[in-house]
């Protein structure tokens, strides 16, 4: 199983398409901090826009861009004119809320929604993605960089998926709400795949997919987390010296292999606590901790609550 599939099998993600924004300049979309287990997203179907948030300098957006905020930060998207946005009208079309204005400038057409993370520890996913991720799905300009066939195929699929979401949202039929939400969930996985296969993949766990020599170690962490893995053993699996393994891992994601192993173990343990009735000590042993006290200590430090509290809350830290 590839790394992205491993992540999504541990941390299930569903999608919800909620808004369509069709604005003429001047306009703005001002979104507050998202709720727990939510990753807001926007798809710019047509027009241009400017994105501002705390994760970096303003960024210009063009049609086909997909914007994700894995950290759930507040953000502002606007037309870039500097003028005060006019009033909006609100209507409903099937399951979508539609916002429009009377702006006479260039029209910007957005689909907006949320990706919803399942009730399992999600640091393994969130902490290895940037605060904001902008993916350009539009076809390259004529004469631009030639892409590899694999990336071109993913780009084409991503555009087809966006177009299908657009068509279904614009002309809904029976079952449209459920269908569009399933497409929205697929958008998350395909967007991450596209970003991972780019020339500059996100600096995080998914960047390891570009390091085939490190794959045996990653596979071992996910498949046999209960083994007492050492850096010497993991480096041997990759046919590397210990020093080379440590350096390549750190270069790839800016985090040590030991840290990632702990994150994998805690994610698996958190899932087992919610989906099985196994004793806590038994779960700790299954993910590599012979001492129940050690497992309890690491779990609380990593997740923020004890294993018993995590289980009783159903994985809802706000409960």
| Domain coverage including residue 252 | 211-312
Reported as a single tens digit per residue, the pLDDT across 269-292 is 999 999 999 999 999 999 999 999
Q: What total number of domains does the chain contain?
A: 2
265 and 187 co-located in one domain:
no
170 and 262 co-located in one domain:
no
User: Which one of 202, 220, 237 terminates a domain?
Assistant: 202
116 and 189 co-located in one domain:
yes
Among 124, 175, 95, which Cα is nearest to 12's? 124
Query: Residue range 100-107: average pLDDT?
Result: 90
Q: Which residues pair with 302 in a beta bridge?
A: none
138 and 227 co-located in one domain:
no
What CATH number does residue 145 fall under? 2.60.120.280
Specify the pLDDT at position 241.
96
In a domain, 4, yes or no: no
161 and 221 co-located in one domain:
no
263 and 246 co-located in one domain:
yes
Judge whether residue 226 has pLDDT over 50. Answer: yes
Cα separation, 155 vs 195, whole angstroms: 10
Q: What are phi and psi of 27, to 5 degrees?
A: -155, 165
% residues pLDDT > 90 (the chain): 61
In a domain, 110, yes or no: yes
Specify the pLDDT at position 195.
82
Q: Indicate the pTM of the whole model.
A: 0.87
In a domain, 45, yes or no: yes
Q: Helix (H, G, I), strand (E, B), or coil: what is residue 53?
A: strand
How many H helices and E strands in the chain? Answer: 11, 11
* Least confident residue range of 150-154, 165-169, 271-275: 150-154
Whole-angstrom CA distances from 117 to 14, 48, 294, 298 are 7, 29, 28, 23
Taking the CA atoms of residue 228, residue 232, residue 235 and residue 236 in that order, the dihedral angle to the nearest 10 degrees is -90
225 and 192 co-located in one domain:
no
What CATH number does residue 292 fall under? 1.10.10.60
Is the pLDDT higher at 153 or at 187? 187
User: Cα–Cα–Cα angle for 121, 35, 269, nearest 5°?
Assistant: 5
In a domain, 142, yes or no: yes
What integer best gives the mean pLDDT of the chain? 89
Helix (H) or strand (E) holding 56: strand 56-62
CB half-sphere exposure, 153, CA atoms < 13 A: 3
117 and 223 co-located in one domain:
no
User: Which one of 133, 167, 202 terminates a domain?
Assistant: 202
Query: Residue range 210-228: average pLDDT?
Result: 92
Specify the pLDDT at position 200.
60
User: Which one of 155, 180, 202 terminates a domain?
Assistant: 202
* Least confident residue range of 58-67, 75-84, 119-128, 178-187: 119-128
In a domain, 6, yes or no: no
Among 138, 135, 256, 109, which Cα is nearest to 190's? 135
162 and 271 co-located in one domain:
no
91 and 24 co-located in one domain:
yes
Is the pLDDT higher at 73 or at 319? 73
Buried b (16+ CB within 10 A) or exposed e, 169-178: beebeeebbe
34 and 154 co-located in one domain:
yes
26 and 48 co-located in one domain:
yes
User: Cα–Cα–Cα angle for 142, 137, 96, nearest 5°?
Assistant: 135
């Amino acid at each position: 199983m590839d790394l992205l599939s491993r992540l999504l099998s541990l941390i299930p993600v569903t999608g919800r398409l909620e808004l369509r924004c069709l604005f003429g300049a001047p306009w703005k979309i001002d979104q507050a901090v998202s709720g727990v287990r939510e990753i807001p997203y926007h798809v710019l179907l047509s027009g241009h826009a400017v994105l501002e948030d705390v994760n970096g300098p303003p960024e210009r957006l063009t049609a086909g861009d997909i914007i994700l905020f894995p950290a759930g930060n507040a953000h502002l998207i606007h037309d870039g004119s500097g003028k005060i946005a006019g009033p909006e009208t609100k209507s409903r079309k099937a399951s979508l809320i539609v916002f429009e204005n009377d702006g006479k400038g260039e029209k910007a057409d957005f689909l907006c929604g949320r990706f919803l993370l399942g009730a399992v520890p999600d640091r393994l996913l969130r902490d290895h993605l940037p605060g904001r991720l902008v993916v350009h799905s539009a076809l390259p300009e004529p004469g631009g960089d030639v892409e590899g066939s694999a990336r071109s195929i993913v780009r084409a699929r991503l555009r087809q998926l966006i177009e299908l979401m657009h068509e279904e949202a614009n002309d809904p039929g029976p079952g449209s709400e459920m269908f569009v939400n399933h497409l929205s969930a697929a958008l998350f996985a395909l967007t991450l795949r596209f970003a991972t296969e780019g020339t500059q993949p996100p600096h995080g766990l998914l960047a390891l997919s570009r390091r085939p020599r490190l794959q045996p170690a990653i596979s071992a962490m996910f498949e046999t987390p209960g083994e007492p893995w050492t850096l010497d053993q993991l480096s041997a699996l990759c046919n590397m010296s210990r020093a080379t393994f440590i350096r390549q891992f750190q270069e790839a994601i800016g985090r040590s292999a030991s840290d990632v192993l702990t994150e994998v173990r805690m994610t698996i343990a958190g899932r087992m606590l919610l989906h099985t009735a196994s004793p806590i000590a038994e779960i700790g042993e299954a993910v590599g901790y012979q001492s129940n006290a050690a497992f309890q200590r690491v779990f609380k430090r990593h997740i923020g609550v004890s294993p018993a509290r995590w289980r009783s809350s159903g994985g809802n830290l706000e409960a």
